[in-house]
Each structure stands twice: as structure tokens, then as C-alpha cells.
Amino acid sequence: MSGLQTFLLVLAGLGLVLFLIRPKLGRAYVRYAMLILVGTLMMLPFVWLISASVKDPDVINDYTFLPPPSVWRSPSVREGDQRVAVDEVTDQALVNEATRVESTINSRNFRDLWTDQQTPQGPVHFSRYIINSLFLSSAATTLGLIFSSMGGYAMAKYRFPGRSGLLAFMLASLTIPGVVLLAPNFEIIYRLGFMDTYAALLIPGCVSVFGIFLFRQAILGIPDDIIEAGRIDGAGEFRIYLTLIMPLVRPMTSAFCLITFLGTWNSFLAPNIFLQSQPKLPLPVALNQLVGVYDQQYGIYLAGTLIAIVPPAILFFALQREFISGLTSGSVKQ
């Protein structure tokens, strides 16, 4: 019987005993035990990811997570692993490479990642992809924020001819899957000359029905009096939107920004299709090349994935509350 089985049996037995003696306590115990188990299960891949990225690629499969601390500093060469025999190599650099012995825990993956990567289109430094992704995500978020909130404001606070029809049209458009439009959009992007430019990614996505609905939902809750007061004070319509309305929907703004940033940061399909030059690629596409059919550099890939998770994680921790309220506002407040 494995340790895990024993552990689970003891856990279950303890719960049963508690439940028989003190049912209330037993119920709380079961609840926490289940939550802790599920929480651990959800965290395991992250723990694995972190430990795999700091392990030397040679020992990546030798330990489930981290090797025991006693061997952290030992050389990572496995038994029976034949490295290049030193006397057969004349090139001094190769000798150094061959005799360089790394410990089992090292930063080799990160060092290898943080260099010029040889690609068919010449060397590209890894930081380039991070900058691309940061730029794309920020630009998409800014554009989306401006145009979606404008649309949401118009749909929430104006009565105009065609409004209800437009609302129905927006709802209906949500049911058309995006991939149906992928092939024709490919041709349109091509004809517009957007191929291999960021315009191909930023312009089609700069305003979304989802965003318009999100802001409409938030702005609906603002009393009309505020807008009327602004009009009496002589503010133009755009100024009312910018200086009166937008500050009032700040929680929704951060929620929208986080959702859009996350979506763009992680998007793969569109950049994979529309971008061709290597120096323009965002992080997910570039990282995916590391584990292609011919080239499988898993250690480097995992280090890159770890780096790719950091920016969204920071944003999420900062805006967690708004994010969750923004996600659910569309569905709960019906």
C-alpha cells in the first residue's frame, strides 16, 4: 500500500470517527478535508511546474518534484550517462561545455531561455517576446476599454431609434462562434494589408459585445440625474461620459481590463495565424515553438511558462475582488 493510500484512509477514518462522536464537528472536518484535497490537487501542477523549471534538464524525470535537499548541490549527471569524452574534443569551448557540471538544482533553464534564440528567421532574444506580449495586451486592453465603455454608455443611457433592435442584434451575434468567421477574416485581413501586423490582432478585437454588455450593466445602475446635472452645467456628451460616468464605474473598469489583458496575454490562435515574422510573435506562440515536432526543449519551455504566468498573476492578485464581481455581474444581476 502506498503512502498516499494510507494517508487517505486515515483521513477518511478520522472523519468517520469524528462524525460518529460529534456530527457537527465531523461535518466541518469533512468539508475542510475535501476543500484542502481539491485545493492541493489544483496546486500540484503549479508546484510541479516550479520544481521542474529549476531542476537541471538532465534530471527532470528523476524526481517527481524537487530532489531531496541533500543532493541539490550534487552534479546532475545520471549514472551511466556518457558525456562527451574530453580527449576526443579539440575545441576548447566544447571541452568547457562538456566538462561543465551543473548541480541538480540550477538556473540553466532560465539562462538558456534568456538568450538569443536561434530561429529560421535569425536570432531573437526571449525578452523580445515578453515585450511584444506586454505591448499587445496593454494596447488591446486600452482600445477595448475606450470603445467598449463608449458603446456600453450609449446602450445604457440613451433612447435612440433602433436601440432595441441593436440590443437584439448584439445578443444574437454572441451565438455565432468566432471560428466561423476565421477563414473569411483571414482573407479580409490579407486584403486590408494587415497580415503580419499587430493591426490584424488589435483592430478586429478593439470593441466587443461582451465589453459593451459589461459596461452597460454597470452604467445602468447610475442615476440619470447625474447626467442631467452635467448637461445643465453645459458639459458636452463626451465630457459627461469621460468625467462623470467613467469614474463611477471604476470597479467594472478594472474587471474589464483584467479580463481583456488575460485574454490577450494568453491568446494563441489569432497571433499564430496572422503573424509570421519571428520578432513580432507574442509569448504563447514563441514558447509553443520550443516544443514543436522536431524540437522539444521542455526545461526551457517550463521556465518560459513560469515567466508567462507572472504578469497575469500579479494583476489578478491586485484586482481579484473587482475581477470576480465583473465576471459575475452579467449573469447574476438579471
Question: Quick one: residue 196, left, alpha or beta (phi over 0 = left, psi -120 to 50 = alpha)?
Answer: left
Among positions 28-87, residues that touch other proteins (CB under 8 A) are 31-32, 34-35, 38-39, 42-46, 48-49, 52, 61, 64
- For residue 245, the minimal CB distance to other proteins (Å) is 11
User: Are the beta carbons of 73 and 263 closer than 8 angstroms?
Assistant: no
Choose the stretch contacting other proteins; rule: CB under 8 A; options: 9-17, 78-86, 97-105, 173-181: 173-181
- For residue 295, the minimal CB distance to other proteins (Å) is 11
Binding string, residues 88-117; x marks residues near other proteins by CB under 8 A? ------------------------------
CB closer to other proteins out of 89 and 327: 327
Size, binding site for other proteins by CB under 8 A: 94
Instruction: Report the C-alpha gap between 2 and 113 in whole angstroms.
Output: 38
Told to check if 181 binds other proteins by CB under 8 A, we report: yes
Q: Give me the sign of the Cα torsion angle 136, 137, 138, 142.
A: positive
- DSSP string computed for 203-226: TTTSS-HHHHHHHHHHHHTS-HHH
CA distances from 106 to 117, 204, 307 (A): 20, 43, 16
Instruction: Report the C-alpha gap between 249 and 153 in whole angstroms.
Output: 11
CB closer to other proteins out of 62 and 97: 62
Q: What is the CA radius of gyration of the chain?
A: 27
CB closer to other proteins out of 85 and 180: 180
- In three state form, how does the secondary structure of 56-80 look? CHHHCCCCCCCCCHHHCCCECCCCC
- For residue 134, the minimal CB distance to other proteins (Å) is 15
18, 130, 207, 219: which one contacts other proteins (CB under 8 A)?
207
Told to check if 10 binds other proteins by CB under 8 A, we report: no
CB closer to other proteins out of 21 and 183: 183
Among positions 116-155, residues that touch other proteins (CB under 8 A) are 147, 150-151, 153-155
158, 168, 171, 243: which one contacts other proteins (CB under 8 A)?
158
Instruction: Count H helices and E strands in the chain, helices first.
Output: 15, 2
The number of residues in the chain equals 334
Backbone angles phi, psi at 220, to 5 degrees: -55, -30
CB closer to other proteins out of 98 and 291: 291
- For residue 116, the minimal CB distance to other proteins (Å) is 23
102, 237, 242, 279: which one contacts other proteins (CB under 8 A)?
237
- For residue 150, the minimal CB distance to other proteins (Å) is 4
Instruction: Report the C-alpha gap between 199 and 136 in whole angstroms.
Output: 10
Among positions 248-307, residues that touch other proteins (CB under 8 A) are 262, 265-269, 273, 284, 287-288, 291-293, 298, 301-302, 305
